Structure 1
């Protein structure tokens, strides 16, 4: 996938983002700010193939587009100063909003929030991980189930001024094994809505058509088979799953 028009112009690096686990840069194409992740800057992982995290990010965007929920900002592959990689439109978040938060355990928000887990901070004070109870975050949780997201940290949820929530950083997706690790566990066991079921149906149907044709240039055939199996299971069970498997249910760090 490539962008056309003004987004195929020269990509200029503005600054390195030091907190990212792989080489990540704030860049610009003309006056449009973007995130640039060159494939050459990807660190070796023990449980994912090397050198294809950029492709997985683009594949996640294509699934988001098929769902029609606008979960992932526009993402594409292109060349840059440090070689080919993933480029994604930069989002100007509202710093005053937190869609996912850690709060004191004796000060849990009641209305509009979901409890994920309880724990203790570095000073052994009781705390709790919570997230919004919103349609936008539910959509993101369903999306993560579809793409088998192994790394939905709280910092990967972008709170926009208008109330929309974007999900970013989708390199650890589409593994053939169950890898779902997320901070969005607040709806465990609850039924999917008709809107959510319809979205899963769209993805499942399109894997045999347009979506599948696009994903075949980005993912392995067995990963596409696993995507189909996940959609079929979701359409059969129609509920938010509980954590399962031997891996931790949440990523670390949480943010």
Structure 2
């Protein structure tokens, strides 16, 4: 594929804003392209990554790109197109911006206990900042289920509700995959509504394709972004789902990221 004229990869980035709620430096940029409007992207420079005790320093951008590669290999398109490239503040992750639905129902939400709408699954009950009992819920949506399975595969340690986007194109996207693909079990997610349930044959077929692709070009590409041990751990997790096609149950002291949004 000729990427020489792809603005996501090659166009100069102009910073127009910053996501101030993000843990790491997250900049909103525009890249010139053919057409009336510039391409909007998210740019996370490596130099803006906050050190973590359980992930090697300076590796979060590569993990974002590796997670995108896994999503693409599955054919699910859960993660917006993501690349590694130079930007105004050095190398980093650049990802296509997702235009989201403004007034539609939330895919992940907090609702008063006992007021769960049809088509939603309860994950847990807690107290909101005012002390009122609330339920953390998410939609029973096959697009969201794919995201939940992807999180198991990439060992996502930080699937918050705010990382789930409903695109104006009718698709559901997941963002913020910097702390994924560790060799140690670290799954923390708000998408526990399918825990303990069987995985559909259609999804298992896609996981089979992923497993078969790992010894080839996909594995080579991933090994340029994460360690060989982490690639192997991905293969083990995928093979484990094929051998026991059931969504895992929460385990450990922190199965849900906090804050959840």
Bin for the TM-score computed over the shorter chain:
over 0.9
SS of aligned partner of 1:19: coil
TM-score by length of 1: 0.96
4+ residue segments displaced more than 6 Å? none
Task: Say whether 1:92 aligns with 2:99.
Answer: yes
Shift of 1:162: 4.2
Shift of 1:106: 2.3
Structure 2 Cα separation of the partners of residues 104 and 117 of structure 1: 12
Match in the other structure for 1:60: 67
SS of aligned partner of 2:90: coil
Shift of 1:247: 3.5
Structure 2 Cα separation of the partners of residues 4 and 147 of structure 1: 30
CA deviations over 1:5-29 (Å, ceiling 9, x no partner): 1311111111121111000100011
Match in the other structure for 1:108: 116
Structure 1 Cα separation of the partners of residues 73 and 18 of structure 2: 31
Match in the other structure for 1:19: 21
Structure 1 Cα separation of the partners of residues 52 and 129 of structure 2: 28
CA RMSD of aligned residues (A): 1.4
Gap regions ≥5 residues in structure 1: none
Shift of 1:3: 5.0
Q: In the alignment, is the contact (CA less than 8 A) between 1:3 and 1:76 conserved in 2? A: no
Q: In the alignment, is the contact (CA less than 8 A) between 1:175 and 1:223 conserved in 2? A: yes
Shift of 1:216: 0.8
TM-score by length of 2: 0.94
Assess, with a 3 A threshold, how the Cα gap between structure 1 residues 229 and 213 changes in structure 2: closer, same or farther: same
Gap regions ≥5 residues in structure 2: 33-37
Match in the other structure for 1:9: 11
Shift of 1:161: 2.8
